[in-house]
């Protein structure tokens, strides 16, 4: 189980509450959500209409949950207490049209342990968003499992939320808000060391992304924190290459000194692993000195197709197989490049869609200050813009989009 994906509703990404979520709570809750998401998408519940005002019940084996969440604690009472505290967490959902309207709900209203199983309820609002997945972040729970610091979890979820675009530059207070550290680490050095550095280091070490940050000052005070994320997508490939190299090295040891000597005087382009095998074979039928002389002779005579000339000059025509192999390798390469290109195209497409969404979301959360600035800008070019049919809202959204694009 390398990938255990949870499409987590964005409202649940940065849960704000009086008490902060410990990492055990956060991990456990992610698994509760994942379990519920499975049910609601694939079991008989998926056929039913989810009603916001109802609550829904799910069940998961205790050990399975502990295992998946990476909880190694054996003290069941301690876990019980953690789960109890988890129940006190409240999430607020604000109406997008009218910010005066809001809904507050407990993220885990009921839980029961019976026969090594957790039986728990979630409110319809949450279940519905798990099912519909309109604004969500796709979290790989496997990556999260080993994160120790609670701030790592929070920042990882944040980073993944903005995976396809860019983590917006945040005011320091904002970062403190989402990490629940407004009243903690007042000393910025401690905040940096205990929260930012620790989380970035841990995420970079243990997950599929690399996270770093830059700070920007406003006078003396550090006013902005700009997170930077890098994908580590080549990691698996690199590992494979590494292990492949090791196998090659082991193979190398098996060849005799004579084979290696001959191999070393081959033309550079012919120093392939297969040549060693072939040389070993040839050495059984021909003397070392003979082969050595042949190689030297053929190197001078035929620079274009050394090996073919060489083998012919001895007696056989094995080189054709190599040619075929080379051709195949070429085809493979072309195929891979095509796939890569398509992948890139798809990414760009998604990026565009995401940018649009992002810009709209940012517009909805725009500060008055920014709004005023944009209004000023708009008024400057009002005549032209109106003639083209661009109103203030679409002007701002396209401005935001433009800025986002620039960042990328």
- Footprint of DNA on this chain (CB under 7 A)? 22-24, 72-75, 78, 148-149, 172, 183-190, 192, 194, 198, 215, 219-222
φ/ψ of 50, rounded to 5, equals -85, 125
E strands, 128-219, are 136-140, 170-171, 209-218
Task: Find where tokens 């005579």 sit.
Answer: 301
In the bound complex, what is the minimum distance in angstroms from residue 183's beta carbon to DNA? Answer: 6
Nearer to DNA, 65 or 311 (CB): 65
By DSSP bridging, strand 136-140 and strand 221-231 are unpaired
Please choose, from the candidates 113, 102, 85, the residue with its C-alpha nearest in 3D space to the C-alpha of residue 29: 85
Q: Indicate the residue among 185 and 354 with the shorter CB distance to DNA.
A: 185
Those residues with Cβ within 8 angstroms of residue 296's Cβ, 6 or more apart along the chain or in another chain: 265
Q: Rounded CA gap, 345 and 352, in Å?
A: 11
Please state the closest distance from residue 178 (CB atom) to DNA, in A. Answer: 15
Whole-angstrom Cα distance, residue 250 to residue 153?
A: 40
Q: Which is nearer to DNA, 215 or 365 (CB)?
A: 215
Q: How far is the CB of 230 from DNA (least distance, A)?
A: 22
- Count of beta carbons in the 10 Å neighbourhood of residue 183: 7
Cβ at position 146, least distance to DNA in Å: 12
CB of 226 to DNA, least distance (A): 14
Cβ proximity to DNA, 10 vs 212, nearer residue: 212
Smallest gap from residue 24 Cβ to DNA (A) = 6
Nearer to DNA (CB atom), residue 43 or residue 190 = 190
* Residue closer to DNA, measured from CB, 119 or 149: 149
Shortest distance in whole angstroms from residue 328 CB to DNA: 51
Which whole-number Å values give the CA distances from 126 to 18, 49, 54, 169, in the listed order? 20, 14, 10, 29
Q: Which is nearer to DNA, 182 or 271 (CB)?
A: 182
Helical spans, DSSP H, in 221-318 = 235-254, 257-265, 273-285, 288-301, 306-314
CA distance 172 to 170: 6
Question: CB-based contacts of 407: which residues, under 8 Å, 6+ apart?
Answer: 166
């Amino acid at each position: 189980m390398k990938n255990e994906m949870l499409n987590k509703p964005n409202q649940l990404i940065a849960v704000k509450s009086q008490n902060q979520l410990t990492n055990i709570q956060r991990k456990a809750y992610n698994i509760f959500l994942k379990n519920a998401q499975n049910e609601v998408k694939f079991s008989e519940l998926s056929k039913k209409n989810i009603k916001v005002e109802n609550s829904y019940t799910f069940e998961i084996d205790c050990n399975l949950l502990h295992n998946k969440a990476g909880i190694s604690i054996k003290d069941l009472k301690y876990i019980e207490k953690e789960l109890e505290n988890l129940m006190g967490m409240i999430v607020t959902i604000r109406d997008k049209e009218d910010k005066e309207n809001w809904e507050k709900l407990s993220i885990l209203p009921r839980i029961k342990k019976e026969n090594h199983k957790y039986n728990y309820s979630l409110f319809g609002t949450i279940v519905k968003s798990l099912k519909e997945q309109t604004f969500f972040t796709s979290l790989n729970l496997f990556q999260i499992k080993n994160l120790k610091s609670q701030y790592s979890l929070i920042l990882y979820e944040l980073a993944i939320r903005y995976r396809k675009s860019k983590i917006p530059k945040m005011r320091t207070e904002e970062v403190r808000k989402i990490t629940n550290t407004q009243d903690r680490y007042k000393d910025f050095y401690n905040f940096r060391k205990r929260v930012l550095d620790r989380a970035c280091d841990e995420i970079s070490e243990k997950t599929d992304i690399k996270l770093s940050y830059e700070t920007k000052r406003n006078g003396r005070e550090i006013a902005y924190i700009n997170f930077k994320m890098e994908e580590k997508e080549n990691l698996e490939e690199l590992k494979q290459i590494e292990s492949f190299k090791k196998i090659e090295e082991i193979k190398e040891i098996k060849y005799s000194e004579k084979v290696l000597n001959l191999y070393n005087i081959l033309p550079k382009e012919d120093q392939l692993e297969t040549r060693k095998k072939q040389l070993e074979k040839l050495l059984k039928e021909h003397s070392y000195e003979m082969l050595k002389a042949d190689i030297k002779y053929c190197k001078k005579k035929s620079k274009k197709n050394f090996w073919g000339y060489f083998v012919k000059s001895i007696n056989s025509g094995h080189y054709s197989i190599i040619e075929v192999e080379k051709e195949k390798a070429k085809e493979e390469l072309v195929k891979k490049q095509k796939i890569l290109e398509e992948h890139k195209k798809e990414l760009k497409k998604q990026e565009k869609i995401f940018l649009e969404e992002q810009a709209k979301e940012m517009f909805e959360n725009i500060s008055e200050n920014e709004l005023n600035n944009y209004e000023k800008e708009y008024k400057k070019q009002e005549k032209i813009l109106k003639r083209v049919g661009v109103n203030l809202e679409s002007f701002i959204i396209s401005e935001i989009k433009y800025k986002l694009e620039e960042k990328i």
